Amino acid sequence: MIASITRWCLLLSVLLLNRPALAQTDAEYRENLEQASFQLIKTTVEFLTTDRQTFPNVQTTQCNCDSYDSLKAFIKQNDLVGADKLVDESKRRAAQHIAQINQPRTALNEVKEFLIQKIASGNRAERKNLPTYAAFEAALDDIINRTVSPETATAVSQKPATVSESAGLPDTLETPSPPITSTPTTQSNWISMAGIALFLSILSLIGVAFLIYTALKNQKPDQSARDIQFDSQLAKLADRVTKLEVRKNQPNESFQVNSQLEALERAVRQLEQNRAEKPATPAPAPKVPLEVVPPAPGSPEESEAAGRPMNRYRTPSVEPPKPSVFYARTADLGDGFSAGGLLTKPERDTVFDVVLENDTLATYQISENPDAQRLALSDPYSYLNDACEYLTQPNPTSRIRTEQAGRLSLQGDKWKIIEKAKIRFIS
């Protein structure tokens, strides 16, 4: 036990020594990912300025901004209707994916796919034919590569993605070329952080030692396994002695009963003596006659009880049924719901009810919860557009009724929408 406690204390001290450095590295890495997400969103907004058919009032295609506030000012200046909502939604989505700190490339690629799906899919798919679209995609890939693989930043930044002058547009779409790097930690900072970690480790070890001392002091002595074994054997022998005593008083019993009774009494005395002595090594238990003692004649109740079978098996535990109904806030993947994001219990902001038909197919509809419907009506673009087909125009004071449930198909860890739900807004 002492060796085990020592190992745990050493492990705890090592973790505390390394925690400050790991926390500092994670914070810098997360900051880089957030900056990369901002660059992806900014590049997408700059690409929208090249769609002169949708946004005819664009004044400039370049945004010299370094924050979301300045980016929204650029959107307002160029009259990019709806782009501010795209920025807010993309910012929230990026924050969710950045939580996957162990898979930064996957997180940034998810942000990229979300942006492309929002601006160049469905009835907006014609934007892929714009001359600037290829440069736009290359710019997004360049930002991801420079963030995830800093050693390639110099080689990539020498060839920034731009739109060819032959495209005939007055402005160009460029991506910021400076690589995203982290400030190295100096040796003096490391020494100070190591000193603080050592001090905290010593304090934690003192606390652990105090807790162990308190637990050992307050621990009540438990009955040993040897005592339990003695008690069990004594109980069995006492029961057999009682039965033999009954048989001994019967007139038709032979001398064999007396000999068995004497042997059992000797065994009981030997067990009690061994228990009193408690030797260091367990002594073998004395041999006791093992033949079955038949019940005494004239006791039908005892014979009936002996004839009944004993229940030697435990009642099998019943596994709880798997849930067949799940709940979701939004179609968080654009064209479907992430399997990991589904909830087993409804909440005030769960807009969709998902009902499983089998392991790979499911249906979904709008929740009847008034709070969830008010939330969906407050921003139909974010909550309903991707998953529903409108039969009437939305009204903030209306109620939502699902005319036809949508259908889902499980593909990997995503429930993909194969048929959108048809809804009607009733005043």
Average pLDDT per 10 consecutive residues for the chain, totaling 427 residues? 58 55 61 89 92 88 89 90 90 80 80 89 88 92 86 45 39 44 42 69 82 70 62 78 69 60 77 66 51 51 52 57 86 89 90 92 93 89 90 89 94 92 91
Domain boundary among 254, 277, 300: 277
Please report whether residue 201 resides in a domain.
Answer: no
pLDDT of residue 420: 93
- Given this model, what pLDDT does residue 104 score? 81
HSE on the CB side for 78, CA within 13 Å?
26
β-partners of residue 366 are 352
98, 30 Cβ separation under 8 angstroms: yes
Residues 25 and 123 in one domain: yes
127 found inside a domain:
yes
Cα–Cα nearest to 253, from 191, 305, 297, 214: 297
- Are the CB atoms for 41 and 85 separated by under 8 Å? no
CA distances from 378 to 216, 334, 342, 381, 394 (A): 59, 19, 22, 9, 10
For residues 150 and 12, membership in a common domain is answered with yes
In a domain, 282, yes or no: no
Q: Which residues of 330-354 are buried (b: 16+ CB within 10 A; e: fewer)?
A: bbbbbbbbeeebbeeeeeeebbbbb
For 221-347, list the strands marked E by DSSP: 325-328, 336-338
How would DSSP label each residue in 97-155? Answer: HHT-TT-HHHHHHHHHHHHHHHHSSGGGGGGGGSTTHHHHHHHHHHHHHHHH-GGGHHH
The distance from CA 324 to its chain's CA centroid, rounded to whole angstroms, is 20
Domain ranges, residue 364: 325-426
Instruction: Tell me how crowded residue 234 is: count the other CB atoms within 10 A of its CB.
Output: 15
Does one domain contain both 15 and 143? yes
Looking at the structure, tell me whether residues 19 and 155 fall in a common domain: yes
153 and 23 belong to one structural domain:
yes
Q: Which of 220, 243, 277 is the last residue of a domain?
A: 277
Examine the domain organization and report whether 137 and 67 are in the same domain: yes
Whether 149 is covered by a domain: the verdict is yes
> Is residue 173 included in any domain, yes or no?
no
Confidence at residue 158, expressed as pLDDT on a 0 to 100 scale:
41
Looking at the fold, whether 340 and 256 belong to one and the same domain comes out as: no
Same domain, 97 and 235: no
Which among 45, 47, 36 is positioned nearest to 75, based on CA atoms? 45
Q: Is residue 50 part of a domain?
A: yes
* Cα separation, 29 vs 43, whole angstroms: 21
Residues 272 and 359 in one domain: no
Judgement on whether residues 333 and 273 belong to the same structural domain of the protein? no
Nearest to 387 by CA among 411, 372, 408, 359: 408
Q: Is residue 114 part of a domain?
A: yes
How many domains are contained in the chain?
3
Closest CA to 402 of 372, 420, 423: 423
CA angle 257, 259, 261 (to 5 degrees): 70
- Asked if 17 and 139 sit in the same domain, the reply is yes
Is residue 324 within 8 Å of 347, Cβ to Cβ? no
Do 388 and 264 share a structural domain? no
Evaluate whether 241 touches 268 at the Cβ level (below 8 Å): yes
- SS3 state at 363: strand
At 405 the pLDDT is: 94
Q: Which of 167, 198, 216 is the last residue of a domain?
A: 167
Between the alpha carbon of residue 394 and those of residues 118, 276, 378, the distances in Å are 20, 86, 10
Read off the tokens for 401.
Answer: 């009724």
DSSP per position, 142-210? HHHHHHH-GGGHHHHHTS-----GGG--SS------S----PPPPHHHHHHHHHHHHHHHHHHHHHHHH
Task: Report d(CA 104, CA 134) in Å as an integer.
Answer: 24
Residue 18 lies in a domain: yes
